[in-house]
Structure 1
Amino acid sequence: MISVDLHIHSCLSPCGDDNMTPFDLVGMSLLNGVELIALTDHNTAKNCPAAKAAADAYGIGFIPGLEVTTSEDIHCVCLFPDIDKALAFDKLIEEHLPPIPNDTAIFGNQIIMSSDGSTEQFPTLLITGCDISIMDLPAIVKKYDGICYPAHVDRESNGLLAILGMWPEDLDVTAAEVRFELPDAVPKHLKILQASDAHRMESLPEGGYPLPLKSADFEGLKDYICGIHI
């Protein structure tokens, strides 16, 4: 078993605490005994390079990703094999977001951090929905060699079941994420992943969530979820 947490937000998410710097969240995950993490900020992967540098320095497995908000306002975790593919997908999502400026006084800071510690504010509000639907997103993610699945399907806000009222039969995913409990409506053949969805340090889990992965990296996770090596 490998201890994982595949849904973590940094200070780039406006609802994330400013203390959730890439370096610090990676370090805290290591202290908590987690072996593999994914950074999944709202609609962006721009803090993944700094988090990857921190993970390499600490010796912890890291997967770059995003939590995409679809046109239906459903959250989906999207994970990628490397930084380049994550940032290429990030660019695509940015092009599909509405051009609404972020008001830091209302929504919070959106802090991009580089590996050397320098910072800048991302100007466009990241917590809006893009114009890509839940039905189209999996095929788009696959073009970047990634995997995606609905996030926190047991949650009322931004959860697939709460918004659609049912699980679409032709939704092309092989996994689903739950925060606490597995709803009966989730198809039985899916791999079920649990994650913290942490937005602040105290929400990072001690011990993480065990998964029977062959390796603490994207290939190990994709093999478990899809039975496919890239």
Structure 2
Amino acid sequence: MNRYRVDLHIHTVLSPCAELEMSPDAIIKRAKEEKMDVIGIADHNSTRQSEVVKQLGGEFGITVLCGAEINTKEEVHCLVFFENNEKLNEFQVYLDEHLPRVKNKPELFGDQVWVDRDNNILGVEEKLLIVALDVSMDEVAAKVNEMEGLFIPAHADKTRFSVTSQLGFLLPDIPVSGIEVSANVKMKEFELKHPWVKNYSVIGSSDAHMLNQIGSSYTSMLLEKPSFSEIKMALKGEAGRKVVGIIKNDRLSTD
């Protein structure tokens, strides 16, 4: 077993709130500079940019998990990832069916384009990606679980768009793979206020919208190799795989 550096919350140029500098090649270059072993592409309510990043990552020795940061009916943000393109594309159909037809206003919210490896525009998303889906958190979790994906409530400590801000707590019957906290979390204080979080593996991510944020907060995981299946095992604490801790500013966070 070896320790790997894992940042599972990175936005690309497709997310309207991300900077235009967040192109696939720039993300991989920055991740390499930050010595990331695994990154997760999590654009708002869309998976369309993740495959190109995965292809480039493979050329530079970086494992890329493909998925999205979905916004449920309750306005709870959750990270979802899938092991292969077939399941990823199936979930994109699901997103297209449940994303309301609210037209994006680029001048107000930002551009929503996805690009190829050479940064040529492949398509423009006309529907605004940051709105809530018309399905609930438990419905999306059940769908992802049925597809054998990862389902992780995002930045659970935040006062907006989190399971704690919107629902107060996580219902124990919702099948989640783990819980993500933000880079600014005070873990002891958060656990004291929300003791249920101790029942899950907790990860930290950068939630990068700009290149210099990649790897600013990440998770150290003990894995046999950097892969989707190994990370899934680590989140469950199976066969010696595990989440070691959250790293901020290159130090293990103990607060």
Please, what TM-score do these two structures have when normalized by structure 2? 0.85
How far apart, CA to CA, are the structure 1 residues paired with 2:169 and 2:24? 36
SS of 2:96's partner is helix
Q: Which has the higher contact order (CA 8 A, sep 6+)?
A: 1
Aligned with 1:181 (options 181, 186, 195): 186
How far apart, CA to CA, are the structure 1 residues paired with 2:85 and 2:21? 23
Question: Which amino acid in the other structure matches residue 160 of structure 2?
Answer: S
1:212 aligns with 2:222: yes
Q: What is the total number of aligned residue pairs between the two structures? A: 229
How far apart, CA to CA, are the structure 2 residues paired with 1:145 and 1:116? 32
Structure 2: state its 5+ residue gaps: 240-255
How far apart, CA to CA, are the structure 2 residues paired with 1:217 and 1:23? 20
Question: Which amino acid in the other structure matches residue 17 of structure 1?
Answer: E
Residue 141 of structure 1 corresponds to 144
Residue 83 of structure 1 corresponds to 85
Question: Which amino acid in the other structure matches residue 151 of structure 1?
Answer: A
How far apart, CA to CA, are the structure 1 residues paired with 2:90 and 2:28? 23
- Counterparts of residues 103-142 of structure 1 (less than 5 Å): 103-119=105-121, 120-142=123-145
How far apart, CA to CA, are the structure 1 residues paired with 2:217 and 2:36? 6
Overall identity of the aligned pairs, in %: 28
Query: 1:12–1:111: 8 Å Cα contact kept in structure 2?
Result: yes
Residue 25 of structure 2 corresponds to 23
Query: 1:32–1:207: 8 Å Cα contact kept in structure 2?
Result: no
How far apart, CA to CA, are the structure 2 residues paired with 1:75 and 1:174? 14
Q: Cα RMSD over matched residues?
A: 1.7
Query: 2:41–2:68: 8 Å Cα contact kept in structure 1?
Result: yes
Please, what TM-score do these two structures have when normalized by structure 1? 0.94
Following superposition, the deviation at residue 116 of structure 1 comes to: 4.2
Residue 55 of structure 2 corresponds to 53
Question: Which amino acid in the other structure matches residue 228 of structure 2?
Answer: F
Alpha carbons of structure 1 residues 16 and 32: separation in structure 2 relative to 1, 3 Å = same
Alpha carbons of structure 1 residues 72 and 206: separation in structure 2 relative to 1, 3 Å = closer
